[in-house]
């Protein structure tokens, strides 16, 4: 099967999992190769993420006292996004055995990596609005909040299917990963100024 075919199957599976369908997990390649291949999701998510980084740079640079160039702010956003993607997964890997989910770690990583591609493209229209209509702040903020809440529901469903140990464990993993991601964003934003 071609690489594009494998990616399509993985994305379809992640989409099904986000809808709470456990059949989607069977579409994921849960081998060691599948684990590493799932990080191909990062370059697949990069184009819509780049639009968001550019919009964010535009928002940042109009603030009084803002420092840097558009390129430096976009580059900082890219570093922050990459760290927020990978570092929480690394921390989960270190805690997985102690948390009793070591047997589901690969399923979780593979599924969330591919789901991140879907989410990045799902959020693209909002990033484009931020970029093309910068004066529509309140409307875009409301739209972003609704999209964010919808995304959280979808990611929780995916987590529940991937972990496969019930809603309480899924909620604990989901919450821990959410907190780890936010903490990583703030830490790297502070480190990068």
Instruction: Report pTM.
Output: 0.91
CA distance 137 to 153: 24
Taking residue 10's Cβ as centre, other Cβ atoms within 10 Å add up to 25
Angle, CA of 178, 124 and 68, to the nearest 5°: 80
How many alpha carbons fall within 13 Å on the CB side of residue 169? 16
- Residue among 16, 2, 40, 30 at smallest CA distance from 104: 30
The per-residue pLDDT for 62 is 65
The per-residue pLDDT for 2 is 82
**Helices marked H in the chain — which ranges?**
3-18, 32-37, 41-61, 70-99, 105-122, 124-132, 137-163, 167-191
Question: What single DSSP character describes residue 192?
Answer: T
CA distance 19 to 82: 26
Q: Are 116 and 85 in contact (CB under 8 A)?
A: yes
Q: Are 134 and 98 in contact (CB under 8 A)?
A: no
pLDDT tens, the chain, 193 aa long:
788 889 999 999 999 999 999 999 999 999 999 999 999 999 999 999 999 999 888 777 767 776 778 898 899 999 999 999 999 999 999 999 999 999 999 999 999 999 999 999 999 999 999 888 877 778 888 999 999 999 999 999 999 999 999 999 999 999 999 999 999 999 998 898 7
């Amino acid at each position: 099967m071609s690489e594009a075919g494998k990616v399509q199957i993985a994305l379809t599976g992640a989409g099904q999992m986000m809808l709470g369908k456990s059949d989607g997990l069977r579409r994921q390649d849960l081998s060691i190769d599948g684990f590493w291949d799932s990080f191909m999701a990062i370059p697949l998510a990069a184009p819509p993420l780049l639009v968001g980084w550019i919009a964010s740079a535009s928002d940042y640079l109009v603030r009084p006292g803002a420092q840097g160039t558009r390129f430096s702010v976009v580059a900082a956003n890219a570093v922050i996004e990459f760290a927020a993607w990978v570092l929480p997964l690394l921390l989960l890997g270190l805690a997985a055995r102690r948390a009793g989910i070591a047997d589901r770690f690969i399923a979780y990583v593979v599924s969330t990596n591919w789901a991140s591609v879907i989410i990045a493209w799902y959020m693209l229209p909002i990033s484009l609005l931020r970029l093309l209509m910068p004066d529509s702040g309140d409307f875009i903020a409301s739209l972003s909040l609704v999209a964010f809440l919808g995304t959280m529901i979808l990611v929780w469903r995916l987590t529940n299917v991937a972990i496969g140990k019930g809603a309480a464990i899924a909620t604990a993993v989901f919450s821990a990963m959410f907190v780890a991601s936010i903490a990583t964003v703030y830490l790297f934003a502070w480190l990068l100024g």
